[in-house]
Amino acid sequence: MAAGKTVIVKILEEQNSTWQGTVTWVETGRTLPFRSVLELIRLMDSAVEEKQ
């Protein structure tokens, strides 16, 4: 598990049985939108891989 990765997930809507919203990395201030839970997981996974 990568240390030092803090994220804020904002769920803005729920449509088609999934979430839409934004994810913000606290350390960098970078915010990206996501259209599904799967996309959110991929975004977070890519951030962990960058650290390793």
Confidence at residue 36, expressed as pLDDT on a 0 to 100 scale: 96
Give me the residue spans of the domains in the chain: 7-51
| Residue 42 neighbours by CB distance under 10 Å | 12
The three-point CA angle 38-43-48 to 5° equals 120
Confidence at residue 3, expressed as pLDDT on a 0 to 100 scale: 53
pLDDT tens column, 1-47: 445 678 999 999 998 899 999 999 998 899 999 999 999 999 988 88
Confidence at residue 37, expressed as pLDDT on a 0 to 100 scale: 95
pTM for this model (two decimals): 0.79
Q: Are 16 and 7 in contact (CB under 8 A)?
A: no
